[in-house]
A and B are shown apart, each in its own frame.
Chain A
Amino acid sequence: MKKEDMVKLISSEGFEFVIDKDAAMVSQTIYNMLTSPGSFSETQHGEVTFPEISTTILEKICKYFYWHLQFASGKETEFHIEPELTLELLMAANYLHT
């Protein structure tokens, strides 16, 4: 896997998730950051920091990205959400346009 096909998502606690760029771009917000010409430093470094998203939530979001890709390819399974995470996940999903 080439480095430019991957992106690094960093949580508020500094935890790093290295995932496929295709998966990350399920999020309209991340897509915009990674594709807008020049201005965003995220575009150049392939790194995005989310000071308002905790590690637990960011991990869940990464799982959703891959679940989404699977779903799109025809494998329609259920995406499980823990009740205690729902509200925080909801806010993050709203921010990420996901």
Chain B
Amino acid sequence: MGGVCSRKRDQRDNEDNVLRGVSGRYIKSGSSKWLATSFPRPAIDVQLGRGKCPSLLDLCIRKICEDIDRYSTFSMLPRDISQQIFNELVYSHRLNDVYLEAFRDCALQDLYLGEYPGVNDSWMDVISSQGSSLLSVDLSGSEVTDTGLLHLKDCLNLQALNFNCCDQISDHGLERISSSFSNLTSLSFRRNNAITAKGMSAFAGLVNLVKLDLERCPEIHGGLIHLKGLAKLESLNLKCCNCITDDDMRPLSGLVNLKVLQISCSKVTDFGITFLQGLHKLSLLNLEGCPVTAACLESLSALAALLYLNLNRCHLSDDGCMKFSRFGNLKVLNLGFNDISDACLVHLKGLTNLESLNLDSCRIRDEGLVNLIGLRHLKFLELSDTEVGSNGLRHLSGLTSLESLNLSFTVVTDGGLKKLSGLTSLKSLNLDARHITDTGLAALTSLTGLTHLDLFGARITDAGTNHLRNFKNLRSLEICGGGLTDTGVKNIKDLSSLMLLNLSQNSNMTDKTLELISGLTGLVSLNVSNSRITSSGLRHLKTLKNLKSLTLEGCKVTVNDIKMLQSTDLPNLVSFRPE
């Protein structure tokens, strides 16, 4: 016997965040669970009633979980089966410290208990009983202490440990683990206030470590010296460790296998960056929010493998930006919120491999965009809060690979939008700008691939909504300029792919709007705040079974009205306002 056991242990990567220029967004609170930093939990992915037939094995596992109090031990089962039972119990939130006992000595390999309620030191005995079989453990967000950590000392084959948000683990715990964990390849201690340089001396023994994550550990200054010998280290996350200084960069200079380095929101300056020149395998460098200037480009230009460079919210100015021309391999460049102008863009002309460019809030004007004409691989372009107007858009009309374009808070007007009509790869378009009206929308009807359209502040009226009929693939739509009434919603009600709909601030909308959208059963998020919606309109939302977020601020709707709807018809609703 012995079934197929798939083991997916990759953490969600940080590279997506860099691409969008967003730094660590994780918040330890119930409503933000989907941003969690723990391992994604495996689960039986077959849902009853969703068409795919559950296997007999799945049915039996589910049945065991339902009757879990009948079982005192699973140690006679093959390991892959007890693993599946364990996973299902965690997934269905049935596991507790009593039922855990049945998994003693089951030779389990993966215990993903990140963010799981009630986990504390009393769980550690059963966890450690998996012994040398245990390969990965996620106890993020638990109450486990240094004493609990000690239990793992006999689990000599551990490869991955995740202790994010475990604020009761300190230097004492770390000092005890190092000798046992020479097989460890991945270690994560995000948001730990107690780890200091002293405890980090334990890391020196983790010679097989490939990935180390110490995001938001504020006391680790001086501790990176202990990473010096970790020749296999490929990924180091020190995001939002604002204690990190230039001195901390020095010990990194010899870690030549580093591919990913994130030191955003640290105190590292141009001088600190000079220590990174020898990291010839580095492909991702995140310096967001560091006090570095264009002078650091001199050091960075030595990094031939660099593909992703995040300089968002740094201290760059046009001075020294000519060195950007040396970064011809870059795929992703984030220059948002720097004091740079068109003069800097001149030096980006040759970066023809760029797929993503963020110029949010830079002093970019129409003339500057001429330098982007040759960047034919660009998929993502962020021009929000720049001085770009309609005249500049003609320079973008040849960028036919563009999938995402943000022109919010620019001075773009209706007249320029026809220059975008050939960008048929566009999936996401942000035109949250007051100068945009129905006329502008009419020029975009060829963009039938759009899945995200943001017209938040644009002055769209009911007449303009006729053009929305062309965007059948829209998954998110925001029109909040105040000009829509129930009549306009008639053109929205058939956009059946919609998951997010924001029609707030349209103060003339009535319950009729809710009736019209009741067929949009894919909706996950709905906002019709500051309208004439009343509690008697809520009954039309009963069909929206996927709704997780409902916002009806400034309407004649009370929190109890929504709670009632939640309890009778909308079980998935987790976030609502008024609350």
**Total of A-B residue pairs, C-beta within 8 Å:** 51
Contacts of B77 in A (CB 8 A): 87, 90-91
A86 with B60: CB separation less than 8 A: yes
Interface size, B (range): 20 to 34
**Is B78 interfacial (CB-CB < 8 Å)?**
yes
B63 with A86: CB separation less than 8 A: yes
**Is B30 interfacial (CB-CB < 8 Å)?**
no
Contacts of B98 in A (CB 8 A): none
The proximity string for A residues 47-69 relative to B, scoring 1 for CB distances below 8 Å and 0 otherwise, is: 00000000000000100100010
Interface of B is mostly: loop
Q: Which of A6-14, A17-25, A33-41, A76-84 contacts B (4 or more CB under 8 A)?
A: A76-84
B63 with A93: CB separation less than 8 A: no
A35 CB, nearest partner CB in chain B, Å: 19
Contacts of A91 in B (CB 8 A): 1, 77, 81
Contacts of B56 in A (CB 8 A): 61, 64, 89, 93, 96, 98
B64 with A90: CB separation less than 8 A: yes
Contacts of B3 in A (CB 8 A): 94, 97
Interface of A is mostly: helix
In the bound assembly, the distance between CA atoms of A95 and B63 in angstroms comes to 18
A95 with B1: CB separation less than 8 A: yes
Closest residue of B by beta carbon distance from A82: B63
Q: Which of B47-55, B221-229, B256-264, B403-411 contacts A (4 or more CB under 8 A)?
A: B47-55
B60 with A90: CB separation less than 8 A: yes
In the bound assembly, the distance between CA atoms of A85 and B49 in angstroms comes to 24
- Asked whether A81 and B1 contact (CB < 8 A) given A76-B49, A94-B57, A98-B57, the answer is no
**Is A72 interfacial (CB-CB < 8 Å)?**
yes
Contacts of B2 in A (CB 8 A): 94
Closest residue of A by beta carbon distance from B50: A76
A72 with B1: CB separation less than 8 A: no
Contacts of B78 in A (CB 8 A): 94
B49 with A86: CB separation less than 8 A: no
**Is A71 interfacial (CB-CB < 8 Å)?**
yes
- Asked whether A90 and B53 contact (CB < 8 A) given A83-B63, A95-B1, A97-B3, the answer is no
Q: Which of B's residues lie within 8 Å of A, judged by CB? A: 1-3, 48-49, 53, 55-57, 59-61, 63-64, 67, 70-71, 77-78, 81
Q: Which of A's residues lie within 8 Å of B, judged by CB? A: 61, 64, 68, 71-72, 76, 78-79, 81, 83, 86-87, 89-91, 93-98
Q: List 10 tightest A-B contacts by C-beta distance, closest first.
A: A90-B60, A93-B56, A93-B57, A71-B53, A98-B56, A81-B63, A95-B1, A64-B56, A86-B63, A83-B67
Other contacts beyond A68-B53, A90-B57, A91-B81: 11, CB < 8 A: A71-B53, A81-B60, A83-B63, A86-B67, A87-B71, A90-B81, A91-B1, A94-B2, A94-B81, A95-B1, A98-B55
